[in-house]
Amino acid sequence: DSKPDNLQRISGIGPKNEKTLHGLGFFHFDQIAAWTEDEIQWVDEHLKFNGRIIREKWVHQAELLAEGKEEEFRTLYGSGGVKNQDGASTSGSETRKS
């Protein structure tokens, strides 16, 4: 009954992917955090991502967000698309381009 989480905070999920995830019944970080290997494969096939969910560590990102570990999330994954006062978002150690 609660409002959906902003799944776009997870690096790799944009508006189109969020809409698709909603269509598949996923609305909350804790749902993604609980995905099994089979569920990851099933969702990956629906999104046609060829392993991107695992490469981008969606489950780990969702775990941190579901548990309210914002500081650890920001360190690893940046601001998750949330913009600061200057209108910029930040990258973390796992999302920086080398």
- pLDDT tens for residues 6-57? 999 998 898 999 999 999 999 999 999 999 999 999 999 988 888 999 999 9
Contact 61, 73 (CB under 8 A): yes
Half-sphere exposure of 71 (CA within 13 A, CB side): 0
Give residue 98's pLDDT band: very low, low, confident or very high (50, 70, 90): very low
Amino acid at the residue 63: E
Predicted TM-score (pTM) of this structure: 0.84
